[in-house]
Structure 1
Amino acid sequence: MSYVAPKEFAVRMIDAGQSKAVMSTRDTLIRSYMAGAILALAAAFAVTVSVQTGQPLLGALLFPVGFCMLYLLGFDLLTGVFTLVPLAWLDRRPGVTIGSLLRNWGLVFLGNFAGALTTALLIAIVLTFGFSTPPDEIGQALGHIGEGRTVGYAEHGLAGMLTLFVRGVLCNWMVSTGVVGAMMSDSVPGKVIAMWMPIMLFFYMGFEHSVVNMFLFPIGLMLGGEFTLGDYLVWNELPTVAGNLVGGLTFVGLIIFVTHARTRPHRLVQYSDNNG
């Protein structure tokens, strides 16, 4: 599958981070908008499959189709830029500053949210015949997801907040592994296989993905979910964003940067240098 060695894809990660940090506002917003819209559509697809078949594993197995599509098309998710752009800053790439890093994160957040919200509105229209009928079985399931993953956490107080944060960490550990997976191969089948596995894992395990939630919670509110916008922001989106940042950067970006982009000399080489 044209496998790319770790040292090589580590450089690709840094290159990608630099490219995203210096990208124009227009292109950043367009690419992040489409990423949010496509991932939201994949989430709607996965929920539909799970409800209609009664097999959540099947929904998780098929969800990565959206992730693969958006990355092959060159679009950007917040979870991905959380991991890649800081590496370009650490590598002191030209044009990459803390300001450009924060600018990229902010624009991608806005673009992802706008794209996911667009898809949420379109799917809500489809499930309710333009809001003229009550939501069908799939619509009801989407509404209940939002309830359990907002007020459900709030019922446990700080323990619920900690659980939410850790689920965000675990999520982007896997999602960012999928982002790196797209760089592990020079063939389309190789990229898809490497992306598919960690994305399937995160979705089936119920980890919290900030961009998927930009779809699930707004559509839940549109379809009568019993939670508020404040519940969504405080008891899901903001802690999830923080967890996603920590998970992707700590367990994927920094680890690969330190051990593959900044590899230490082998001990045997050091011994030979010191002893003739």
Structure 2
Amino acid sequence: MSYVLPKEFVTRMIDAGESKIFMSTRDTLIRAYMAGAILALSAAFAVTVAVQTGVPLVGALLFPVGFCLLYLLGFDLLTGVFTLVPLALIDRRPGVTMQGVLRNWGLVFAGNFAGALTVAVMMAIVCTYAFSQAPDAVGLKLGSIGQSRTVGYAEHGMAGMLTLFVRGVLCNWMVSTGVVGAMMSTSVPGKVIAMWMPVMLFFAMAFEHSVVNMFLFPAGLMLGGDFSIADYLVWNEIPTVLGNLVGGLAFVGLALYSTHARTATARVPQARAATATDTAVPRRA
């Protein structure tokens, strides 16, 4: 069967985290760049479909196509390495250090941002005919998303900041479940189905994904969104990154590791007490 048992795919999670720590800077950046670009294209696709149909759920149903493609191609998102890489440190793999974990996170963040920003510039060109006219309907939508999800949170003060953080937690709880989903099966259809479901959920519920936002907000700024770079960083990206870290590591990585890789001592089944009837020699009639 193509299904992989939890104890087996959790070992794969730890192995994957270890391999990413020792990956070269060149390969880490290339894989992160491509992941950010593909996910950004998928987000642009989802927004376009939602605008054309007037039904946001349709965009959410189709958004996971980019996520599935980038993981099948072996590329890396920040949200995924938040979950996988620390497991190699916790498991005390030889040569794995906190410095190595932070190095991986930093490189993946930089690569994801560069890839998402590249697509943001391209989409801004597409939506404005190379900045020669006002943004089209998709461009206007991209601008409004950036404004509502920065200034909109800021209007509520610390309550808005907490809401933003929690949405980041919930997002990577689902997205990292999708990352793990790719390890639950040995077949491509099985991997895609396992990845598709939680990623669709996060997008439909408008949770905050740090890499998707690396596309949405720069694109929004280029397309006339009424917010600043400081608004983007303080009232979205930084709290979202922290929320994504907590959601992926606590609710997916550590939860699976603690119960499948480092299980507690199993309870010994109590033997059925022997009764006098069980042990007595049968009486003769």
TM-score range, shorter chain: over 0.9
For the aligned residues, what is the CA RMSD?
A: 1.2
Q: For structure 1, which segment, 47-56 or 261-270, has the greater mean C-alpha deviation from structure 2 after superposition?
A: 261-270
Output the CA distance in 2 between the equivalents of 1:131 and 1:21: 41
| Corresponding position: 1:232 with 2:229 | no
CA shift at 1:172, angstroms? 0.2
The equivalent residue for 2:53 is 53
Q: For residues 163-219 of structure 1, what are the alpha-carbon distances to aligned partners after superposition, in whole Å with 9 as ceiling and x for unaligned?
A: 000000000000000000000000000000000000000000000000000000000
TM-score by length of 1: 0.97
What is the DSSP-based 3-state SS (H/G/I as helix, E as strand, rest coil) of the residue aligned with 1:61? helix
TM-score by length of 2: 0.94
What is the DSSP-based 3-state SS (H/G/I as helix, E as strand, rest coil) of the residue aligned with 1:96? coil
Specify every segment of 5 or more residues in structure 1 that has no aligned partner in the other structure, as ranges: none
The equivalent residue for 1:199 is 199
Output the CA distance in 2 between the equivalents of 1:140 and 1:270: 67
CA 1:59 to 1:93, structure 2 compared with 1: closer, same or farther past 3 Å? same
Deviation beyond 3 Å, 4+ runs, structure 1 = 269-272
The equivalent residue for 1:171 is 171
CA shift at 1:137, angstroms? 0.4
The equivalent residue for 1:67 is 67
The equivalent residue for 2:120 is 120
Q: Which has the larger radius of gyration?
A: 2
Q: For residues 47-103 of structure 1, what are the alpha-carbon distances to aligned partners after superposition, in whole Å with 9 as ceiling and x for unaligned?
A: 000000011110000000000000000000000000000000000112210000000
Matches within 5 A, 1:16-165: 16-165=16-165
Output the CA distance in 2 between the equivalents of 1:60 and 1:270: 50
| Identity across matched positions, percent | 78
Q: For residues 9-68 of structure 1, what are the alpha-carbon distances to aligned partners after superposition, in whole Å with 9 as ceiling and x for unaligned?
A: 000000000001111000000000000000000000000000000111100000000000
Specify every segment of 5 or more residues in structure 2 that has no aligned partner in the other structure, as ranges: 273-285
What is the DSSP-based 3-state SS (H/G/I as helix, E as strand, rest coil) of the residue aligned with 2:204? helix
Amino acid in structure 1 at the alignment position of 2:239 = P
CA 1:270 to 1:157, structure 2 compared with 1: closer, same or farther past 3 Å? farther
What is the DSSP-based 3-state SS (H/G/I as helix, E as strand, rest coil) of the residue aligned with 1:268? coil
Output the CA distance in 1 between the equivalents of 2:120 and 2:243: 23
The equivalent residue for 1:268 is 268
Amino acid in structure 2 at the alignment position of 1:157 = G
Output the CA distance in 2 between the equivalents of 1:81 and 1:75: 11
The equivalent residue for 1:222 is 222
What is the DSSP-based 3-state SS (H/G/I as helix, E as strand, rest coil) of the residue aligned with 1:208? coil
What is the DSSP-based 3-state SS (H/G/I as helix, E as strand, rest coil) of the residue aligned with 2:268? helix
Q: How many aligned positions are there?
A: 272
